[in-house]
Amino acid sequence: MSYLKFDKAQLVNTEYSLTKEFIRTNRAGSFASSTIINCNTRKYHGLLICPIAEYGGDMHVLLSSLDETVIQRGAAFNLGIHKYPGQYNPKGHKYVREYEVDPNPAITYRVGGVLLRKELLLVEKEQRLLVKYTLLEANSATTIRFQPFLAFRNIHALTKANMDANTRAKEVKNGIGIKMYDGFPQLFMQTSRSSEFVHAPDWFYNIEYKEEKLRGYECHEDLFVPGYFEMEIKKGEPIVFAAGTSEVAPNALTRQFNAELKKRINRDSFESCLTNAAQQSIAKKGKKASIINGFPFLSHSERNTYLSLPGLCLARQDEEAFLDILNTSVKSITNRFYEDKALVKDRTSVDVPLWFFWTLQKYIEFGADKKTIWTKYRKIIKEILQAYKNGSHLASELHENGLLWTSKKGVTWMKVRNNGTFLQKRMGYVVEVNALWYNAICFALELSETTGDKGFAKEWGAYPQKIEENFIKVFWNDEKAYLADYVMSDYSSWSIRPNMLFAASLPYSCLSMEQKKSILDKIESDLLTPRGLRTLSPNSQDYLGVLNGNEYDRNRAFHNGSVFPWLFGHYAETYLKLHKSSGVANIKRLLEGFESCVIEHGIGSLSQVHDGNPPHKPNEATSYALSVAEILRVGKMINNTSKK
């Protein structure tokens, strides 16, 4: 029995099934995503979504959906489902009997005496989707029809019927090739067995995407259908439909499907689901590798790359991927310090280079040699620290008290804005920025000792004590017994947020054990939930416990109460430092509570964010690399702590 499985009662209930989404990726950078009943509810859904080199590698939806029709004794039953204003048409979900995920998405339909199984996968290193159909039961001759819905547009856009589209299709072996616009590759659609393609070009108007409508975005799209494939299907004899950016030999499709299927990880446990989700987040091209921040609509984030690497790679013992991603990312890290350098995403984010130090610390915990790390990365380490020291960083300046002063809004991880205005001020002395600054200097001094770098020790050796003394003076309040979130001149923000946790979780901390315990108590009472940590205490007048509504309302709630699973990693790390092996049982209990998440939103993965209010509904990205990474890392922490 499959670990991830849904039955007829769940599937025919659209209120339930349309909230469950799958994501499948490959190493060529493509992905497929939709709901478990194959009704697209986002503009980011599609069966073949590829990076297009001619458009800077941005992701584009080529094949949006594929409708199947079963024909028996002259009666046609369309298995597809599309949402139009006020109605669903067709309503193929009523024929669905079962949906399984292990080892790849598979859906079973019952139409009278016909039982049809449909399996979907992406070829590992090609821009190609394979869909395998197997007729399990049939009491008379059966014909199957495939009707492809094409988009040929950027994932962030929507397309409309237009005169510029090239709607002509050329015939190829067992199929067609079509290229709707200049700059796009040909999309080849072929079947493993001989089929008839009926040219019946037409636009389908006003297909509606429910999730975009809820957010107040443009939500209607016109999709082009070039015609349909039709062929007889026999019991037990599989048919494979392929859609890809290169032509393929049709007689090899079944073999290719079976070969690709053998490569898949069985998602038969919580851990194997997270392992699979972690692998899906990693994109590789030779030795160049990166982390895709979240599916289906997020791309790359430097901050999240450094935060995710220990969990996504080291927790799975994948040192090779760790180094490929780290060394790819580190090449651009100093670009943020200089006006004349090429723009890189997050270049003004004040904390991003400091998380690089934390990533190296986790690598050393994994087993890396300190001397080797210093030798390999000392140039970049020195450049980063010097840039903060001399004010080259575009968002901060170093004060005489040794603390970093953040001079711009929107440069910490809490940086959502509405109409160009950042919703969290968070300027001045920011708590996690200075905690990271202290940790970075202490760690760099530790590394420099391995080679006896006396010059570095002379330049930076006095900073830790100065920072430690002033960090406590600026941020700590004995009466409140926790840290300010940020301090500006004569104003201190005492909003209870998770940012003070980093001052306790980082390897080097300015805090005493008693102060760490006090902070943890405050976080447990106000922020801890079964899905991670809230971004703001419910006792605050600014707290918003539900993430819904239009873009403005959602942005307001995003960092004012919403729960982020990834923050649980830093909570667990602090808790285990304080309680050691006696704390394992509690952290393990909390970790096990995340298991139900893999069937709540993104099937087999963890979401980006949850509501602050119970029942903590999942939201935003359906598969979020940092959520997956930190939950994997907590599992590793539990194992390591239990052995001590």
Quickly list DSSP for 372-428: HHHHHHHHHHHHHHHHHHHT-STTEEE-TTSPEEE-SSS-SS---EETTEES----B
Query: Scanning the structure block, which residue is given the tokens 């079509």?
Result: 178
What's residue 9's pLDDT?
95
Q: Is the pLDDT of residue 393 over 90?
A: no
Give, to the nearest 10 degrees, the angle between helix 352-366 and helix 319-330: 160
Quick one: DSSP state of residue 117? E
Percent of the chain's residues with pLDDT above 90 = 85
Give the model's confidence band at 195: pLDDT under 50 very low, under 70 low, under 90 confident, else very high. very high
Q: Is the pLDDT of residue 642 over 90?
A: no
Higher pLDDT, 105 or 287: 105
* Ramachandran category for residue 549: left, alpha or beta (phi over 0 → left; psi -120 to 50 → alpha): left
Q: Is the pLDDT of residue 340 over 80?
A: no
CA nearest to 20, candidates 30, 35, 7, 8: 35
Q: Is the pLDDT of residue 581 over 80?
A: yes
What's residue 336's pLDDT?
54
What's residue 1's pLDDT?
36
CA nearest to 204, candidates 40, 11, 14: 40
Q: Is the pLDDT of residue 108 over 50?
A: yes
Q: If you average pLDDT over each of 159-168, 336-345, 389-398, which comes out highest?
A: 159-168
Residues 230 and 239 sit within 8 Å (Cβ to Cβ): no
Q: Is the pLDDT of residue 228 over 60?
A: yes
Domain boundaries, the chain: 5-262, 336-510
Which of 80-94, 344-358, 624-638 has the weakest average pLDDT?
344-358
Q: How far is CA 636 from the centre of its chain?
A: 21
Per DSSP, which regions of 210-316 are E strands? 220-233, 239-244, 282-285, 288-291, 294-295
Give the CATH fold of the 5-262 domain. Answer: Beta-galactosidase; Chain A, domain 5 (2.70.98)
Residues 487 and 428 sit within 8 Å (Cβ to Cβ): yes
What's residue 337's pLDDT?
55
Give the model's confidence band at 335: pLDDT under 50 very low, under 70 low, under 90 confident, else very high. low
Quick one: DSSP state of residue 333? G
Give the model's confidence band at 420: pLDDT under 50 very low, under 70 low, under 90 confident, else very high. confident
Q: Is the pLDDT of residue 341 over 50?
A: no
Do you find a cis peptide bond into 103, omega within 30 degrees of 0?
yes
Q: What is the mean pLDDT of residues 357-361?
A: 98
Residues 263 and 276 sit within 8 Å (Cβ to Cβ): no
For the chain, give the mean pLDDT: 93
What's residue 331's pLDDT?
78
What's residue 66's pLDDT?
98
What's residue 98's pLDDT?
95
Q: Is the pLDDT of residue 113 over 80?
A: yes
What's residue 278's pLDDT?
96
Q: Is the pLDDT of residue 139 over 50?
A: yes
Q: Is the pLDDT of residue 224 over 60?
A: yes
What are the DSSP calls for 21-60, one per residue?
EEEEE-TTS-EEEEETTS---STT-EEEEEEEGGGTTEEE
Percent of the chain's residues with pLDDT above 70 = 97
Q: Is the pLDDT of residue 22 over 60?
A: yes
Q: If you average pLDDT over each of 20-29, 287-296, 612-621, which comes out highest?
A: 612-621
Question: Residue 550 corresponds to which amino acid?
Answer: N
Q: What is the mean pLDDT of residues 592-597?
A: 96
Same fold, 5-262 and 336-510: no
Q: How far apart are CA 368 and CA 366, in angstroms?
A: 6
Give the model's confidence band at 417: pLDDT under 50 very low, under 70 low, under 90 confident, else very high. confident
Q: Is the pLDDT of residue 528 over 80?
A: yes
CATH architecture, domain defined by 336-510: Alpha/alpha barrel (1.50)
Q: Is the pLDDT of residue 123 over 70?
A: yes
Beta-carbon contacts of residue 65 (< 8 Å; ≥ 6 apart):
34, 38, 40, 45, 46, 47, 80, 82, 148, 149, 223
What's residue 330's pLDDT?
87
What's residue 339's pLDDT?
45
Q: What is the mean pLDDT of residues 91-115?
A: 93
Q: Is the pLDDT of residue 283 over 80?
A: yes
For residue 163 the two structure tokens come to 């005169």
Give the model's confidence band at 343: pLDDT under 50 very low, under 70 low, under 90 confident, else very high. very low
User: Which tens digits make up the pLDDT trace of 610-637?
Assistant: 999 999 999 999 999 999 999 999 999 9
What's residue 334's pLDDT?
59
Give the model's confidence band at 104: pLDDT under 50 very low, under 70 low, under 90 confident, else very high. confident
